[in-house]
Amino acid sequence: ARRSETYNGTLTMCDFWMNVSLKDVICTSRDGDRFWKLPECHIRGNNIKYLRIPDEVIDMVTEEPKTLKRDERMAGRGGRGRGRGGMVGGRDGGGRGRGGRGRGDGGGRGEGGRGGRGGRGRG
C-alpha cells in the first residue's frame, strides 16, 4: 500500500482498476517489526506497487485470445470526424470548425470540403 506495508493473503477479487480483495491477510509494517492478522481487506489499485503471484498459480491461467489493435478494429469504417461541420455552402465538409474534414481523412482546418488542402486556412 501507499505507506509501504506488505499484505500477504488469498486473492478473492480483482477488477479492471486493480482494486483487490484479500482474505486471511497478514499485514507487515514497513520496517518488518509489527504484524497484524486481518480476516479480509480491500486495497485500492492506485496504492499497489506490485503483486507476487506463485508460478503454480500463473501456470493454471489460460491466456485470452489476442485482441485486435485499435487500427485493425477501425479498418473499413473510415475515420471519425470531430467537432461540427456538415453542409457549408453546398459542400459536404464534415469534421472540424466550419467545413474542413476531421482527423479521419485529410486533416487540417481549411474551408469547404477539400480536406484542408487548397482552401483558405492553415491546411
User: CA-to-CA distance for 104 and 107, rounded, in angstroms?
Assistant: 7
Report the chain's terminal Cα–Cα distance, integer Å: 50
User: CA-to-CA distance for 100 and 116, rounded, in angstroms?
Assistant: 6
Bridge partner list, 91:
88
What pLDDT does residue 63 have? 79
What pLDDT does residue 58 have? 87
Sign of the CA dihedral running 83, 84, 87, 88: negative
User: Hey, is 7 helix, strand or coil?
Assistant: strand
Average pLDDT over residues 84-104: 54
User: CA-to-CA distance for 63 and 81, rounded, in angstroms?
Assistant: 36
Residues near 44 by Cβ (< 8 Å), separated by ≥ 6? 17, 19
Residue 23's φ and ψ, nearest 5 degrees, are: -125, 160
pLDDT tens profile 19-76: 999 999 999 999 999 999 999 999 999 999 999 988 998 888 887 777 766 666 556 5
The pTM of this model reads 0.48
Sign of the CA dihedral running 115, 118, 119, 121: positive
What pLDDT does residue 42 have? 96
